[in-house]
């Protein structure tokens, strides 16, 4: 059993290192498809993040993700190395606007 736990820990670190090597996902600017790439975040939770952000304004810190229904602190911690909090969200293009 210890070998399994060790292997699991090594794989988790390798995944985190590979993900961290890429560009972090800005949770204030990412669309639902991008957010769905995060660990434990599928299409429904990704859409919930976007809707929460649109209703409540930009996230001030990564921990604010836990305010979104269905996302707990564990999910936030699992993704901490892969996300960042940048500027204001990008406004959706509204074809009705000039």
Q: Please report, in tens digits, the pLDDT of each residue of the chain (98 residues total).
A: 676 666 455 445 445 444 445 789 999 999 999 999 999 999 999 999 999 999 999 999 999 999 999 999 999 999 999 999 986 555 544 444 44
Instruction: Residue 60: name the closest of 52, 48, 71, 72 by CA.
Output: 52
Number of domains in the chain: 1
User: Is residue 56, in this structure, part of any structural domain at all?
Assistant: yes
Cα separation of 21 and 55, whole Å? 32
User: Is residue 70, in this structure, part of any structural domain at all?
Assistant: yes
**38 token code pair:** 């995060």
User: Is residue 62, in this structure, part of any structural domain at all?
Assistant: yes
């Amino acid at each position: 059993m210890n070998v399994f736990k060790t292997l699991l820990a090594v794989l988790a670190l390798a995944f985190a290192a590979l993900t961290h090597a890429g560009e972090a996902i800005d949770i204030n600017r990412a669309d639902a498809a991008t957010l769905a790439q995060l660990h434990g975040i599928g299409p429904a939770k990704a859409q919930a993040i976007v809707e929460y952000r649109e209703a409540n304004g930009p996230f001030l810190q990564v921990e604010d993700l836990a305010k979104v229904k269905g996302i707990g602190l564990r999910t936030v911690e699992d993704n901490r190395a892969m996300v960042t909090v940048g500027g204001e969200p990008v406004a959706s293009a509204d074809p009705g606007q000039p």
